[in-house]
Amino acid sequence: MIIQIEREDLDLFNIFVFIFGAIIGSFLNVVIYRVPRGESIVTPRSHCTKCGKTISWYHNIPIISYIILGGKCKYCDEKYSINYFFVEMLSALIALSLFVKIGFSLEYFLILALFYTLLVLSFIDLEYKAVPDWILLLVVILGFSCVYNNFLDSIKDGFIFVGAFVMLDFFVTFYIQNIKSKILKDETLKTQRALGEGDLPIIAVIGALLGLASGMIAIFLAALFAIIPSIYNNIKNSEKQTAFIPYLSLGFFVEYIFQISKVIL
């Protein structure tokens, strides 16, 4: 069921949805910070990790407080990560973009929950290069809950996608571990894999929701987005590995919103 909104009320709803998304983003920041540390996401209240002072509600207004306070703690001037601002802004933009595309419906809230979960995974992966399995399972559950038509075909597409990328991972990993490591004489490459295990469930969801053609565009976009940090790391001679989940999620979102496959295929 889709809720119809009068045109004159649309701008007001857009503002409401943006604010709603930013508020959810503030909570997602708590999840991103606390879950990898094994801390409760409910208690205690938000506080500075340096001085321990509880953050007042008027110092914790999504997006606005970060800008006004210059990204610092009000009490001890501890510098907060810019990721807090990015998560809140991205959360607001995701909510608004999906609302413009879908409108209020059950599909909207399911897809929104899916992309919010991917947002959490992306920032955890950027920080730790590893993600909790239970959040990956949540992505799979939410992803397949968003499939309404041709459910069996969607399952098939998801498995085809995963199978194809398992084979791709095998060949590329073989090249990295057995050929590239010898050419570069880098022993660390002998244990490096092309894809992480956390990438595969997301790839399955992309295949199931978008289908084969659209899903391939999403993966192609993800690879393009991932090239930028990879080139930067090579220029800086950095050994830092590129987390792929953020770029998979970005490619998925861009293709879902803009449906580029319908333009070029």
Express each pLDDT in 81-102 by its tens digit.
999 999 999 999 999 999 999 9
pTM: 0.89
Tell me: pLDDT of 111 over 90: yes
> In this structure, are residues 222 and 248 in contact, taking their beta carbons and an 8 Å threshold?
yes
Give the torsion sign (CA, 22, 23, 26, 27): negative
Average pLDDT over residues 214-222: 92
Mean of pLDDT values over 162-190: 76
Mean pLDDT of the chain: 86
Single-letter amino acid code for the residue at 78 = E
pLDDT at 247 over 80: yes
Overall average pLDDT of the 210-222 stretch: 92
147 in Cβ contact with 205 (< 8 Å): no
> Do the Cβ atoms of 21 and 92 come closer than 8 Å?
yes
Q: Tens digit of pLDDT for each residue in 127-157?
A: 988 899 999 999 999 999 888 767 888 888 8
For 180, residues 6+ apart whose C-beta sits below 8 A from its C-beta are: 186, 189
Q: What local confidence, expressed as pLDDT, does residue 251 receive? A: 95
The pair of three-digit structure tokens given for residue 48, joined into one six-digit string: 């500075």
Residue 56: what pLDDT? 85
Of 160-169, 210-219, 242-251, least confident by mean pLDDT is: 160-169
Span 25-29, average pLDDT: 96
CB-count exposure of residue 204 (10 Å: 0-12, 13-18, 19+): buried
Which pLDDT score, from 0 to 100, does residue 191 have?
73
- In which residue are the tokens 């295949």 written? 207
Short-list 89, 205, 100, 214, CA closest to 144: 205
Percent of the chain at pLDDT above 90? 46
Cα–Cα distance between 24 and 26 in angstroms, integer?
A: 5
Q: Under a CB-based contact definition with an 8 Å cutoff, are residues 49 and 78 in contact?
A: yes
